[in-house]
Structure 1
Amino acid sequence: MTLNQLNDYFNAFLKEEEFSRDVSLNGIQIQNKEPDKKEIKKVAFAVDACEATARLAAEAGADALFVHHGLFWGGCQTITGSFYKRISTFINNDLALIAYHIPLDANIPYGNNAGLAARIGLDLEKVQRFAEWLGMEIGLWGELPAPVSVEELAKKALAPGEKPLAILPFGKKEIRTVGVCSGGATEDVEAAIQLGLDAYITGETSHELYHYVEECGINMISGGHYQTETLGVNLVKEKLEKETDIECIFIDLPTKL
């Protein structure tokens, strides 16, 4: 499978064309020398494209790096300073970069929010979409099979050893309905409140929303931007491993945020 074929494989289910308002440049962001000839034998997966993940992928012998947060976000940028270091690490090692941003957040069943919803026990066949961004609904909400406390919900939402950035326990003691929207979707708690949900899970936290969340009486869990967005890349990794002979690795480089 060549680089172009690999990207066709990813886009067959991530469907970047359905998320045209995403400012990220989804798909191949940096090609290799022969995108139609060179065989891709090893793919590294990570949340973020940066100098460190590119270097670690190259050191591991990867031909391509698949990430959620790429390097290009719709505007022009000079290739100087830190950005030069990032770009040159890819080019000097003939390492390709493939990024899927909003398509990876929204995808069912391989996206960040689907992975988060499944992790806490929501049925992916029954969840509904919410949390709109630029006209695109990214988040998912549904009803748990049994009520849980906010502390139990936070534990379910994160992998073993991970800790949330914040828990705002301002809602019902027994939580049944939950909305999830990974990453930096702090303000989408408003959408969860409008739906009357018992709890909302996202990545980041906000001082400005603290009193509003308390006054509206909803539980809110901020699980960490990075920690809530490792799910999608790993689900895509597992799919590629099962369906091809390509070797896959995950580069875990947490930001603690």
Structure 2
Amino acid sequence: MKREKLNKELNAILNVHQFKDYAPNGLQVEGTTDVKRIVTGVTASQALIDKAIELNADTIIVHHGYFWKGESYSITGMKYRRIAALIKNDINLFAYHLPLDAHPVLGNNAGLAGGLGLSNRIGLQRGVELEDAIGLVGELPEALTGDQFSLLIKQVVGRDVLFEMVNDRKIKKVALCTGGAQGYIEQAAEMGADVYITGEVSEKTIHIAREMDIHFCAAGHHATERFGPMLLAEHLKSTYQLDVFFVDIDNPA
């Protein structure tokens, strides 16, 4: 597939025009014109780039790319080494931030919700359609105790989690938003969720959970945002018969 065709297909699939984001979505670093082997991952770290080079990949697609608002414009140090490795090896870098969170089928939130078996999904923000929402609310197949839920979420994300159980109420209605979205906990409580799941936790988050009577789970920023890159890899492989690998660079955060 030609690079420009892949760029157009990805931008269309992930509805990039709908989002005002913190970094550019789409092609960030230009490499070879012909795309034959793709690596997807969470973050365009040096380790991911090195693995892509080892796998002879010509294209990398990530959730966390470069050129974030507020960062230095200078291409020096770590940023230089990363970009230099991409250019030297003629590797394309695509990045999709909010579009890869929000996609109702291929997104991080959709993947986590699917792992939990959530049904009757709606957007976390009131009045926002699911396909436009950053975060979602859904229902488990059956109500779970805190201990049962804690075991389930650990199995789904494949790691230990922080779970703050604020009372002995069973969990049926689940709100979630992957990554560093602990700030949406109040909206989750207002939507009537029994638990709110995200990737990270702030000191104030636990106080909010206790005072708004909602269970809270921080399941890892990296762990909760592997789903989109994994789902996108499978989609590209099955739809376009491309050679695609999801590479997980472990991160405890």
1:158·1:227 contact (CA, 8 Å) conserved in 2?
A: no
The equivalent position to 2:121 in structure 1, one of 127, 144, 163, is 127
For the Cα contact (< 8 Å) 2:116–2:156, is it kept in 1? no
What is the aligned residue count?
Answer: 247
| Residue range with higher mean Cα deviation, 170-179 or 213-222 | 170-179
Deviations 1:8-63 (A, max 9, x none): 121221010111x1121000000114xxxx32110001100122211111111001
Query: Partner amino acid for 1:15?
Result: N
Distance 1:96 1:53, change over 3 A: same
Distance in 2 separating the partners of 1:54 and 1:196: 42
Indicate yes or no: 2:9 matched with 1:9. yes
Partner amino acid, structure 1, of 2:41: A
CA–CA distance in 1 between the matches of 2:125 and 2:55?
38
| 1:220 and 2:216 aligned | yes
Instruction: Report what 2:92 is aligned to.
Output: 96
Does the residue aligned with 1:138 lie in a helix, a strand or coil? Answer: coil
Identity among equivalent positions (%) equals: 36
Distance 1:203 1:77 in 2: 28
Q: Distance in 1 between matches of 2:147 and 2:82?
A: 39
Asked whether the equivalents of residues 166 and 213 of structure 2 are also in contact (C-alpha less than 8 Å), the reply is yes
Counterpart of 1:86 in structure 2 is: 82
Q: Provide structure 2 residue ranges, at least 5 long, that are not aligned to the other structure.
A: 127-131
SS at match of 2:39: strand
1:68 aligns with 2:68: no
CA distance, structure 1, for counterparts of residue 219 and residue 148 of structure 2: 13
AA of the residue aligned to 2:100: L
Asked whether the equivalents of residues 46 and 230 of structure 1 are also in contact (C-alpha less than 8 Å), the reply is yes
- For 1:109 and 1:100, the matched residues in 2 are separated by 15
Code of the aligned partner of 2:171: I
- Among candidates 48, 53, 68, match of residue 48 of structure 2: 53
Give the letter for the 1:66 counterpart: I
In the other structure, the counterpart of 1:174 is 170
Cα drift, residue 171 of structure 1:
4.1
Q: Which residue of 2 aligns with 1:23?
A: 22
CA RMSD of aligned residues (A): 1.7
Gaps of 5+ in 1: none
Partner residue in 1 for 2:129: none
Q: Is the 8 A contact 2:157 2:223 kept in 1?
A: no
1:139–1:12 Cα change, 3 Å: same
Find out whether 1:246 has 2:242 as its counterpart.
Answer: yes
Counterpart residue type for residue 18 of structure 2: E
Matches of 1:45 and 1:217 in 2, distance apart? 38
Q: Which residue of 1 aligns with 2:225?
A: 229
Tell whether the 8 Å contact from 2:112 to 2:156 is kept in structure 1 after alignment.
no
Tell me by how many angstroms 1:212 deviates: 2.2
Match of 2:144 in 1: 148
CA contact (8 A) 1:130 1:141 kept: yes
- SS of 1:65's equivalent in the other structure is strand
Indicate if the aligned counterparts of 1:158 and 1:228 stay in contact, CA closer than 8 A. Answer: no
CA offset digits 1:198-256 (Å, max 9, x no partner): 01110001222222211221111110000000000000000011112211111111210
TM-score, structure 2 length as denominator? 0.92
Is 1:208 matched up with 2:204? yes
Provide the TM-score with structure 1 as the length reference: 0.91
Q: Which amino acid aligns with 2:85?
A: T
Conserved? CA contact 2:136–2:175, under 8 Å: yes
